[in-house]
Structure 1
Amino acid sequence: MNKPKVCHFTSAHKPDDIRIYHKECTSLAEAGYDVSLVSAYEASGLEGAVRVVHTGSGPRGRISRMLFTAKEVYKTAKQIDADIYHFHDPELLRFGLKLKRRGKKVIYDAHEDVPRQIMAKFWIPRVFRKLISVCFEKYENYVAKRLSAVVVSTPHIRERFIQINPRTIDVCNYPLMNELMEPTSWDDKQDEICYVGGISVVRGIRELADALALLPDLRLNLAGNFSTGELEEEIRAKAAWNRVEFYGYVGRKELLSIFQRSKIGMVTLLPTPNHMESLPIKMFEYMSAGIPVICSDFPLWKTIVGENKCGVCVDPSNPELIASEIQRMLSQPEEARKMGENGRIAILEKFNWEIEKKKLFNLYETL
């Protein structure tokens, strides 16, 4: 019996998104499904069993993307006439509901707890955030209840959605086995740390830059896109910028190279409601690469780091404490090296995609 035709679609993510393309779509294709991925962005260098289709619209402003790009992506996805549709952005909720009403199996992949995320959106006036958050949550619940299934990225988000749709599963965004597991000897590294991911105020870039200024012999490998041009200008104007190696958005090979150069991986996100229960992929990728982690002292993260002895937690709003923990870790190389090894072991034993993809396969089989 042939596996069903599957279409993943996204209006906000690039075709090579690690969760969507490299994990979910590729794993389903390897399991025998006929998989297409529709994105607004043009694909390049993606070779494999996943058929990548782009709408040609490319990058747009936030409002234009929500209003027009989402519709273009939906129209392209609908033409594929798949058996199962799997979408990845809140702005596509209305189109997921349309597909369900056309008799399709439809899965909503909730990467974030969006109502809580809205409360930290700098581009939404503070006075309106609570109202928008409440209204969106009601709408998201209304649609999610009527879809075939919901996939979420953390157990915390699952607890919310399972009250609405009993066919809800958490598929955590843990690393691919062996992808980043080519560690470099600690003795071969310089005094360099790294931060990889979205660069924004709520992700602690100001505090990290200020901590760097307190450590004159330290260099920061910074990879990702700034949330705004104004923030990039602000950070570039700081005194320590001359000790920042800024890569911008990087591919997977460049990512491995950054990890091999760095002694510590930084995840000092500020305590927003969305961050405190998240499972940031960057933390687990640092662990996979065998480098110790310095992360925010959220209860969930303290449990993960503490139980696996793979790093330390710190108040992310305090540059002096961040700098102190960096300095302490650099001054105790044997302890830091052991933390890195512990992180790799934890990835091999429990925090990896090989375990998570089985949940996805089971869901697809039930559909």
Structure 2
Amino acid sequence: MEGERRVSMRIRPTDEPRQRPRIAVVTTVHRWGDPRIIEREVAAYLEWDCEVHVFIPVDRDEVASVGDDHRGLGCLRVHALPKPRGRLQRLALSLRVASPVWKERPFEVVHFHDPELIPAVAWLSLWWRRTYFLYDVHEDLPLEVLSKPYLPAPLRPLVSLLMVGLWRVARALFDGFAPATEAIARRWPPERTRVLHNYPKSLFEAPAGEPLALDPNRLLFVGGLTEVRGIRGMLDAVRRVRERRPALRLDLVGPVNDASLELAVGAAVAEGWCRHTTWLPPERLAVFCRGAAVGLVPYLPVPDHLEALPTKLFEYMAMGVPILASDFPLWRALVERSGSGRVAEPTVAGLAAALEAMLADPAQLARHGERGRAAYRGGYRWETEREHLRWHLERALGERAG
């Protein structure tokens, strides 16, 4: 494929007598370092002594080890795809990605992440009958397109129907499905599906026995900054609370993904109460975030948000950061069951009122933080969740052996 650049990195010499399972992990949308793909799933394959080939848009200087925890295990090879500029280039790259994957055959598993890849991977599946094709379903695509700002509103229902048709093709051709939530899982055949939640790794957990030390003047948001994630309203709500609490400040960790937000974020930074960091590696992120009084998840009520489970909810729990989340039924049940914070209407007035109430009660904030940490330890850890990924790997190897 023109423009494809191969960068190989070996984590362990390949001189063992037995053959490692060969895994292709493919994405044309996500970046190197993506928490779900690289830090959790690829790292798990390496720990299970697989030879992992990652096909991803990346620059050479971005390629690094997945972490010291995985040195001496498995073998990682990164195949750097050209970075697309805009949606049309991304679509073109998705259609051509079968070529570099084909050149590296054979694979026991092709694990792919983007709906744009369904046509290319479907073509591969027609040729590779003994390969296990695993579709990692991050979002509810038919619902997601209903809130895409770049699609004209009258066309969105039609595009949603087309996505339903695309998923029917996937159901017919692929061997396994790894949806991120139970709501998405309902669209896939249960006998081939295991939910793979976006639970964080244990490195996000505050060290055992370490007391919470919450800074009552520090707020936190982690993730991509977009309009539908309620960033504009969140900034206005913090600005309103600062009229009574002028020492209050906000840490934003994530790239500005909507150009329409650049001025709003820039203004908050220029006013001196907002600090913006575009990205931190997981180890540094875990340390940086600890101690915040409130971790915000102010998503707007667009259809695909209502049953989503953002990773940041569980990262905040692991770090002992009290949560203020949008008042969606699923999120309300999670926050109330865990005792990790509270929910509010994702409006300026709703967020400001909830922030005022939370910051006015430091003792309750500390209880939210401790209960969140306990809930994380009790069931929201990646180290337990990854067994659902192992189920797919064992199924793939069992079918090949049979």
TM-score (norm 1): 0.93
Q: Which residue is equivalent to 2:170? A: 143
**What's the CA shift for 1:342?**
0.7
Which one of 162, 174, 177 corresponds to residue 199 of structure 2? 174
Cα 1:261–1:290, aligned 2, differ >3 Å: closer, same or farther? closer
Contact 1:55 1:73 in 2 (8 A): no
Partner of 1:296: 326
1:45 matched residue in structure 2: 64
1:70 corresponding residue in structure 2: 94
Q: For 1:191, which of 207, 211, 217 is the aligned residue? A: 217
Could you tell me how far apart the structure 2 residues matched to 1:101 and 1:297 are?
Answer: 45
> In 1, are the aligned partners of 2:96 and 2:120 still within 8 Å (CA)?
no
- Gap change, CA 1:58 and 1:231, over 3 Å in 2: same
1:248–1:240: structure 2 CA closer, same or farther, 3 Å change rule?
same
Once residues 59 and 241 of structure 1 are traced to their aligned partners in structure 2, the CA distance between those partners, rounded to angstroms, is 34
Structure 1 position 79 matched with structure 2 position 103: yes
Match for residue 252 of structure 1 among 236, 261, 282: 282
| Kept in 2: contact 1:86–1:108 (CA 8 A) | yes
Pairing 1:356–2:385 present? yes
Determine whether 1:283 maps to 2:313.
yes
Distance 1:21 1:238, change over 3 A: closer
Amino acid at match of 1:174: Y
In 2, distance between residues paired with 1:239 and 1:65? 32
**Stretch of structure 1 that moved more, 287-296 or 9-18:** 9-18
Alignment pair present for 1:99 and 2:117: no
For the aligned residues, what is the CA RMSD? Answer: 2.0
| Letter of the structure 1 residue corresponding to residue 185 of structure 2 | R
Residues 77 and 180 (structure 1), Cα distance of their counterparts in 2 relative to 1, 3 Å cut: farther
The structure 2 residue matched to 1:205, chosen from 216, 219, 231, is 231
- Residue of structure 1 in register with 2:21 after alignment: 4
CA distance 1:18–1:52, change in 2 (3 Å):
farther
Separation (CA, whole Å) in 2 of partners of 1:313 and 1:41: 38
* Secondary structure of the structure 2 residue equivalent to 1:285: helix
Deviation at 1:202, TM superposition (A): 0.7
Identity of aligned residues (%): 28
Q: Could you say which residue in structure 2 is the equivalent of 1:124?
A: 151
Aligned to 1:108: 135
Q: 1:328 and 2:380 equivalent?
A: no
CA contact (8 A) 1:26 1:50 kept: no
- Residues 71 and 53 from structure 1, CA distance in 2 versus in 1: closer, same or farther, beyond 3 angstroms? farther
Larger radius of gyration: 2
338-347 or 227-236, which moves further after superposition?
A: 227-236
State the Cα deviation string for residues 23-70 of structure 1 (Å, max 9, x = none): 111112211222221111133322544524233412421221111x22
Pairwise CA distance, 1:153: 0.5
Comparing 256-265 with 279-288, which one deviates more in the overlay?
Answer: 256-265
**In 2, are the aligned partners of 1:213 and 1:239 still within 8 Å (CA)?**
no
Q: What one-letter code is carried by the residue in structure 2 that aligns with 1:289?
A: M
Paired AA for residue 96 in structure 1: V
User: How far apart are the structure 1 equivalents of 2:83 and 2:288?
Assistant: 28
Change (3 A) 1:256 1:215: same
| 2:240 equivalent to 1:214 | yes
Amino acid at match of 1:203: R
Which AA in structure 2 matches 1:280?
P
Q: How far, CA to CA, are the matches of 2:136 and 2:216 in structure 1?
A: 40
Does structure 1 retain, via aligned residues, the 8 Å contact 2:110–2:134?
A: yes
Secondary structure, in 3 states, of the residue corresponding to 1:246?
Answer: strand
Match status 1:227 vs 2:244: no
Cα deviation, 1:111-165, whole Å, max 9, x if unaligned, reads 1111111011111111111111111111122223211111110111001112xx7
Q: Does structure 2 conserve the Cα–Cα contact (< 8 Å) formed by 1:202 and 1:269?
A: yes
State the SS of the aligned residue for 2:280. Answer: coil
Q: Partner letter of residue 320 of structure 1?
A: A
